[in-house]
């Protein structure tokens, strides 16, 4: 797996299973009480620009 030029705050890129877990959460029954939220699966990268 190729690393990005700028490292993520967690120090590594995400594994496919970690990204898939977010998608499965939103598509399953566990999200039935979740409304109007963004689920960021990006290793904290948005924290670099705030």
Q: pLDDT tens for residues 7-50?
A: 667 778 788 898 898 888 888 888 888 887 788 887 777 766 55
What integer pLDDT is reported at residue 6 of this predicted model?
Answer: 61
What integer pLDDT is reported at residue 19 of this predicted model?
Answer: 86
Tokens of 49: 């620009």
In sequence order, the 6+-apart residues with CB closer than 8 A to the CB of 39 are: 22, 25, 26
The pTM (predicted TM-score) of the whole model is 0.54
- Distance from C-alpha of 16 to C-alpha of 46, rounded to nearest angstrom: 19
DSSP one-letter code for 38: -
On the question of pLDDT at 5 being above 60, the answer is no
Q: What is the CA radius of gyration of the chain?
A: 13
Residues 5/48, Cβ–Cβ less than 8 Å: no
């Amino acid at each position: 797996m190729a690393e990005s030029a700028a490292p993520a705050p967690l120090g590594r890129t995400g594994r496919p299973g970690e990204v898939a877990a977010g998608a499965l959460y939103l598509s399953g029954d566990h999200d039935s009480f979740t409304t109007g939220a963004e689920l960021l699966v990006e290793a904290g990268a948005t924290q670099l620009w705030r």
